[in-house]
Chain A
Amino acid sequence: MRKIVLIALVLLSGILFTARLFYLQVYDASPDSLSQNSAIKVMYDYPQRGYMFDRNMKLLVSNQPSYDVMVIPRDVKPLDTLEFCGLLKITKEEFKEILHKARVYSPRLPSVVIPQLNKADYASLSEKMYKYEGFYIQRRSLREYQVDHSANVMGYIAEVNNAIIEKNPYYQMGELIGTAGVEKEYEEVLRGVKGVKYIQKDRFNRDIGPYKEGIFDTLPERGHDVQLTIDAVLQKYGEELMVHKRGGIVAIEPESGEILALVTAPSYDPSLLVGRDRSKNFTKLWYDTISKPLYDRVLMGEYPPGSPFKTLTALIGLHENVVDTLDTFACYHGYRYGNRTLGCHSHPSPLAMVSGIANSCNAYFCNVYKRIIDKYPNPREGIDHWREGLLSFGLGDFLGYDLPSGKRGNIPTSKYYNKIHDYPAHNWSSLATISNAIGQGEVLLTPMQMANFTAAIANRGYYYTPHIIKNVIGPDTIPQKFRKKHYTTVEPEHFKPVVEGMFQVYKRGTASSIQIPGIDICGKTGTAENFTKIDGKRVQLTDHSIFVAFAPKDNPKIAIAVFVENGYWGSRWAGRIAGLMIEKYLKGEITRTDMEKYVLEGSLEAEYAKPYSGQPFSINR
């Protein structure tokens, strides 16, 4: 016994330590990840973000270096404060305050002294930097906009927030990510791949060289440049035309689906969201809840399409075989049903299809619409067949374009009407939905959808999904879905009378005032009633001015939708703007300078102020 006690204790302690070591090192070993190791600092090397070009390879946005003056307080040696403050362009008191804050944050870790020096200040400072120990200049990359337009297209980048970091482990606190427009949609293409460096730290968090001589380090990969489908000249012109108006322009190349211009108004200069004043400017734009410059009206705005929608009513009527191009309908200054009348303006009567479109006769299209719905045993089936046709034009749902914002619009279903009319307790007929015939009622479209269906008419029966990317430079690819034709349910031969009607709109109809020498435009005006709520009361506002068009009539090169909020009537603003855009794009110069002058000098600000004036106001006047 006396001989065994110590031996037993030695063996027991050996077993105890083996078990403890096994527990610590093998059983309970925390994941051996470099990033979780407190002794390894991960440093990222940020690549240049890709540039954006327009369709003609004009540079839209590049990068600019920005220089932050940094300090590690404990490394600071006595210095000529006066001279240094002079170089930094701050007072001695400010300098002391900044240094104090840096020391409070951490004596060993870098803090920013002066953020985002411009190039000139950087040049004068960098020569003398060697004199100031503990201070150094850190280079960062910021966006540099070469143009003052297309802010809504390009979007912007911002620091990632916690929600993004949780979802996507690629990003770290303080990094930038595209949060709108092309910057967001093509984030992964543009950003490139950041390089990683693992730095061995000591217990004071100081760097003591690369971890394992840098065998795990990677080099950054530069982001890809992208060529957009935007025509910078056209885009800039569109934004100029839309000054002092609200609404937007969408121009599409029908044969490819490429978006030539995407204008929302009001907009802003993209350079406002770069540099030292970014947050101040962003706050200003964000809180402008009246004109909403950050709200993309052409993608997000759901508007009643008004008369341009009549072209679709006609096309679906022909497809459903309920109307012939020679069928005529009388107009009694409107369409009478029951004891009500849906009014119309003065024009010859009765009218067949081409004249019906040219004169935008409400009665004609109400008759056609009623025939479509009543072709089927009940209006519910009728509505659903009507809807199916519209959906094939890209309405009532997201179009699938490559921009991160959008709305579905609304093409009502039979279910919807069943619900509001409390079917089957109460029946409803085609007449209950008659406003749909002329693009009022429950139908809502975004300007983008209007431009898209116009492109489908221009193509006589198909469209390509509109897109903003022309080429990713390097891999030289774009998603295949933008190369695929989407056919409408309407047969190609039915487009001929509708196109002719749209041409007559321009030649002798509601848009005859915007004629441009040498260009055959097919268009359709729209004047849409609209309402808003003021103090909880439904109030009618001045009609929206709408125009959709494509040109030339044969082999169209551009399809366009212009939407001007509260612009009185179709040809007054939207028609003129569409005409000017088409001329600019097809000819490169403007011959209708009278029209250009009217638009550039005109303003609707007084109209937009009306509902906020607090005074009673009259509309359409």
Chain B
Amino acid sequence: MAGGRTYVRFDWLMIFMYIALVIMGWINIYSASLSDTAKGFWDFDQIYARQFMFIGFSILLIIFLLAIESKFYEKFASVFYIISLISLVGLFVFGKNISGATSWYAFGSFSLQPSEFAKAATALALAKYVSDIQTNMQELKHQIAAFTIIALPAVLIVPQPDPGSALIYAAFVFTLYREGLHGVYLLLGLFAVMLFVSTLAFGAVWVAIAITVIGGIIFFRNRKKRPSIIKYILIAAGCIAFAFSVSYIFNNVFEQRHRDRFNIVLGKEVDARGIGYNTHQSEIAIANGGWLGKGWTQGTQTKGNFVPEQHTDYIFSTVGEEWGFVGSLIVVLLFVGLILRIIFKAEKQKSQFGRVYGYSVAAILFFHFFVNVGMVTGIFPTVGIPLPFFSYGGSALWGFTILLFIFVKLDGANYHYS
């Protein structure tokens, strides 16, 4: 740090996109939570005022994060990770139950959600492990260790219950793939998802019949190569077992509300009043926007509070209604742009730690963006996760801010070697 040899150059494009998203998020939260009971702007019972305060605190957080020496993150990655795990475990004892999930620590009128911070910690820990000289992602031993780092927080989050947040940890598979994990894992994952969905859509029995038939066809076409029949039977049996276990889990482990969510998206149930209400209202609000939207605070569905949780997970429906196709497109482009920028920057990192971390940031943001917007526009099942930087909530905003700005710092520091 001494002398003029080193300097830090932050990527202002990334920061600009972050600021744009946060400001647009607040504007929409304001509209979605506007009420006539407010006692002036600084009434901290009002959601928009609280979010304003969270944003203000984020600025302090950013200054702090950028001031810290970048090596600090790498050195203390394990510590952060362990603190995260402890905070997640602590929820079982000290957690506060808010709308059905014990995901919070309460401090007076504020609550913190440790799972929002655990993502950054996990990304740091994974980066540290993968970038270790002795780690080789081709080796099973190291693969198991990496998966364990990813799975531990997810396993602690699922029983809160918050399966949506736990699902996000699947994003790290992309990071591992980038770092040398065999592509078959990705394909396996994809295949599992396909099996999962088709089992729900058509039932385990039909899936089993389809697998047997397809397996049989492939076997007979390849019979000149004298394939091992045992291998085929084992793979087929594995798939069928998976299908039946999905069916079993779906019917016996899932709660009815989870089942309903899937059934609605799979078109098995049409229920605009009950469980499908959220998605239905959200689609109406978005469709209501047209090309240019109804104008800020003029959305009729938004004003009427027709979309439940509109200021949190469903904030994108406000964008859709009040800013129309053009406004929605701008938000989509900002997210795509930010994520691509992060990937681009991650690839440029000199250190593997920076690259792995940056890749994790991109993958996590992508997963949130993909699942959230997919849900709000009615493409995917309802999975309760926030839209990064946009949705209301201090923990989420700070969690994403930390996640992103550690990378901004790492990326900025990257230059002082050059």
Contact = CB atoms under 8 A, between A and B. Distances in A.
B336 A40 contact: no
Contacts of A39: 300-301, 303-304, 306
B377 A6 contact: no
Nearest to B335: A14
Nearest to A211: B300
A37 B340 CA distance: 39
A2 B359 CA distance: 12
Most buried by A among B180, B303, B340, B366: B303
A1 B289 CA distance: 39
B309 interface: no
Contact of A21 (B36, B284, B320): B320
Contacts of B287: 24-25, 28-30
A10 B343 contact: yes
B177 to A, nearest CB: 6
B305 A40 contact: no
A1 B301 CA distance: 44
A6 B325 contact: no
Most chain B beta carbons < 10 A, residue from A22, A24, A29: A24
Interface string B376-394: 0111000000000000000
Interface string A415-445: 0000000000000000000000000000000
Interface stretch (B113-121, B224-232, B326-334, B405-413): B326-334
A173 interface: no
> Which of A11, A24, A25: most chain B CB closer than 10 A?
A25
B379 A20 contact: yes
Nearest to A40: B300
Contacts of B288: 29, 32, 37
Contacts of A21: 286, 320, 325, 328-329, 332, 377
B336 A14 contact: yes
The bracket for how many chain A residues form the interface is 35 or more
Interface string A78-111: 0000000000000000000000000000000000
B69 to A, nearest CB: 29
The winner among B287, B333, B359 for most chain A CB atoms within 10 A is B287
B298 A6 contact: no
B94 interface: no
Contacts of A6: 174, 178, 343, 359, 362-363, 366
Contacts of A13: 336, 366, 369-370, 373-374
A212 B373 CA distance: 29
Given A2-B178, A5-B186, A25-B320, A203 B305 contact: yes
Nearest to B359: A6
Contacts of B378: 20, 24
A120 interface: no
Given A21-B325, A24-B377, A11 B320 contact: no
A211 to B, nearest CB: 7
A25 B286 contact: yes
Given A6-B359, A39-B300, A200-B303, A26 B340 contact: no
B328 A10 contact: no
A202 interface: yes
A17 interface: yes
Interface string B168-181: 00000010011010
A14 B290 contact: no
B320 A16 contact: no
A11 B320 CA distance: 20
B304 A202 contact: yes
A338 B186 CA distance: 113
Contacts of B332: 14, 17-18, 21
A22 B335 CA distance: 17
B304 A200 contact: yes
Interface string B92-129: 00000000000000000000000000000000000000
B359 A26 contact: no
A17 B377 CA distance: 8
Contacts of B177: 2, 5
A236 interface: no
B166 to A, nearest CB: 20
B37 to A, nearest CB: 11
Interface-centre pick from B283, B286, B300, B320 (highest chain A CB count, 10 A): B300
Interface in A204-220: 208-209, 211-212
B328 A7 contact: no
Contacts of B325: 21-22, 25-26
Nearest to A16: B379
B340 A7 contact: yes
Nearest to B369: A13
A209 B178 CA distance: 55
B343 A7 contact: yes
State the main secondary structure of chain B at its contact with A: helix
A394 B363 CA distance: 89
A440 B332 CA distance: 87
B21 interface: no
A38 interface: yes
Contacts of A11: 336, 340
A26 B178 contact: no
Given A16-B379, A202-B304, A5 B290 contact: no
Contacts of B370: 9, 13
Interface string B183-196: 10010000000000
A3 B178 contact: yes
A24 to B, nearest CB: 5
B191 to A, nearest CB: 15
Nearest to B281: A203
Contacts of B374: 13, 17
A422 B222 CA distance: 92
Contacts of B347: 3
A122 to B, nearest CB: 32
Contacts of B359: 6
A201 interface: yes
A32 B290 contact: yes
B291 interface: yes
A496 to B, nearest CB: 76
B382 to A, nearest CB: 16
Interface in A10-65: 10-11, 13-14, 16-18, 20-22, 24-26, 28-30, 32, 37-40
Interface string B347-362: 1000000000001001
Contact of A10 (B178, B186, B303, B336): B336
A277 to B, nearest CB: 41
Interface string A176-219: 00000000000000000000000011110000110110000000
Given A21-B325, A32-B290, A10 B366 contact: yes
Contacts of A1: 183
A24 B283 contact: yes
B399 interface: no
B304 A29 contact: no
B25 interface: no
A208 B304 contact: yes
Nearest to B282: A24
Interface of B: 36, 174, 177-178, 180, 183, 186, 283-284, 286-291, 298, 300-301, 303-306, 320, 324-325, 328-329, 332-333, 335-336, 339-340, 343, 347, 359, 362-363, 366, 369-370, 373-374, 377-379
Given A21-B286, A25-B287, A203-B306, 17 more contacts: A5-B186, A6-B362, A6-B366, A10-B366, A13-B373, A16-B379, A18-B332, A24-B287, A25-B286, A26-B325, A28-B287, A29-B290, A38-B304, A39-B304, A39-B306, A202-B304, A208-B303
24 contacts: A5-B186, A6-B366, A7-B340, A7-B343, A13-B369, A13-B370, A13-B374, A14-B335, A18-B332, A21-B325, A21-B329, A21-B332, A24-B283, A24-B377, A25-B286, A25-B289, A25-B324, A25-B328, A39-B304, A202-B303, A202-B305, A208-B36, A211-B300, A212-B298
By Cβ-Cβ distance, the 10 closest A-B pairs, closest first, are A39-B300, A39-B304, A14-B336, A25-B325, A202-B304, A24-B287, A20-B377, A203-B306, A21-B328, A13-B370
